[in-house]
Amino acid sequence: MNFYTLKWQDGTVLMMDQRKLPTQEIYNTYTRIEEVAEAIKTMVVRGAPAIGVAGAFGMALAAQNSQAGSLETFRQEMDQAADLLISQRPTAVNLPWAVRRVQNLLNQNNSLEVLKENILSEALNIFEEDVAMCEAMGKHGAQLIEEGKTYLTHCNAGALATAGQGTALSVFYEAAKEGKKFSVIASETRPFLQGARLTAWELEKNGIDVTLITDNMVAHLMKLGKIHGVVTGSDRIAANGDVANKIGTYGAALLAKAHKIPFYVVAPYSTVDFETPNGEAIPIEERPREEVIQFFGTASAPESIRVLNPAFDVTPAELIKAIVTERGIVHAPYKINLAQQLK
Ligand code: MRU
């Protein structure tokens, strides 16, 4: 990858400000957990695995900055830090998954100093593991990519959404490395334009043949036979295989079914939530109305109009041809096969 999304450097967190893409590549430096929480909420960093890693780094900053003189006070501070981070975005399970993983270290009977060191190394482990998982998912998923075909992807499930080379987009990067010739269609992803601003930017930057469309062009292009498969990421996969992902994914999956086109989901095991039985139990984030009534600061609707802005939707398991994780390709019945693969 010829850029990075986030990293830990000399006791600080560096994150590319994704709100500024595609026109500016700017890195912000964060030294306090409150700043990281705000960056997650305002989408400086976004994408399920990336906000998980950012959450883990936020915990490491909180630990590093703590002035607590006793283990008890330190644990209280860290519990508050975890709550703050997790409350920023409700749908992607990777955020609580990573934060809880760091928080669990507080149960160890160690000195404050050792605990702080362990917290940082766990956050760094989460980062490194994400990099490795991305590559593994890409290698497994590349088998699904066929020579000469065109694949639709929605939102951004690429390097910008992870610490590594992405989930869905990693499949394209690995297929290209294998020498396969194929092309990608990125849907722009209203209202935040992750497809246009981020996916189009990173695929083009990395030499993948990509064409941008608006979201409402998908049905037409499928009917014309110009899309041969759909590959997306996920923010949370319920135990039964229902998949939450960026708003618009469900529509693309229904259209894929209507046109007999395979719909694939690519996500690491940190996205699978066995405690959520099905899609109905997945909390869907509602984002600010400004995202819908303004187009980059310029009014695009009456100021007083009533607005809905759900940021995610749920694609039922029966519409999904396969789920690719870092361990391989899983087919239905997902309830059994996801659990089996985890073992
Ligand atoms: O609101 P966002 O930009 O955080 O939504 C991101 C997505 O929906 C991605 O498709 C998902 O997180 C998978 S990222 C590897």
For residue 343, pLDDT over 80 is answered with no
Contacts with 49 (C-beta within 8 Å, 6 or more apart), sequence order:
94, 130, 133, 134, 161, 162, 163, 167, 268, 270, 271
- Mean pLDDT score, 283-289: 97
pLDDT in tens, 307-316: 999 999 999 9
pLDDT in tens, 106-150: 999 899 999 999 999 999 999 999 999 999 999 999 999 999 999
Rg (the chain; Cα; Å): 20
pLDDT confidence of 342, banded at 50, 70, 90? confident
- Residue ranges around ligand 1 (CB below 6 Å): 46-49, 92, 155, 157, 161-162, 166-167, 194, 232-235, 245-246, 311
* Domain layout of the chain by residue ranges: 6-135, 138-342
User: Which residue is catalytic, options 235, 242, 273, 313?
Assistant: 235
pLDDT confidence of 1, banded at 50, 70, 90? confident
251 Cα distance to chain centroid: 19
The pLDDT of residue 296: 81
* Mutate-to-test residue for ligand 1 from 193, 246, 250, 326, highest number of ligand atoms within 8 A of CB: 246
CA-CA distances (angstroms) from residue 117 to 111, 131, 202? 10, 21, 34
Biggest CA pair distance of the chain? 67
pLDDT in tens, 64-107: 999 999 999 999 999 999 999 999 999 999 999 999 999 999 99
Task: Report the b/e string of 164-177 with b at 16+ CB within 10 A.
Answer: bbbbbbbbbbbbbe
- Mean pLDDT score, 260-277: 96
Q: Please tell me what DSSP assigns to residue 158.
A: B
H helix or E strand, kind and range, residue 245: strand 243-246
The pLDDT of residue 297: 86
Q: Please tell me what DSSP assigns to residue 187.
A: E
The pLDDT of residue 87: 98
For residue 63, pLDDT over 90 is answered with yes
Q: Average model confidence (pLDDT) for the chain?
A: 97
What's the CATH class of domain 138-342? Answer: alpha beta
pLDDT in tens, 237-255: 999 999 999 999 999 999 9
Contacts with 218 (C-beta within 8 Å, 6 or more apart), sequence order:
152, 187, 227, 251, 252, 255
> Do 138-342 and 6-135 fall under one CATH topology?
no
H helix or E strand, kind and range, residue 294: strand 294-295
CATH of 6-135, one of 3.50.50.60, 2.60.40.10, 3.40.50.300, 1.20.120.420: 1.20.120.420
Cα–Cα distance for residue pair 168/153, rounded to 1 Å: 8
Q: How far is the CA of 232 from the centre of ligand 1 (A)?
A: 9
Cα–Cα distance for residue pair 282/47, rounded to 1 Å: 16
199 three-state secondary structure: helix
Q: Which two tokens stand for residue 275?
A: 């405690």
- Whether 235 is catalytic is yes
The pLDDT of residue 287: 97
Contacts with 295 (C-beta within 8 Å, 6 or more apart), sequence order:
none
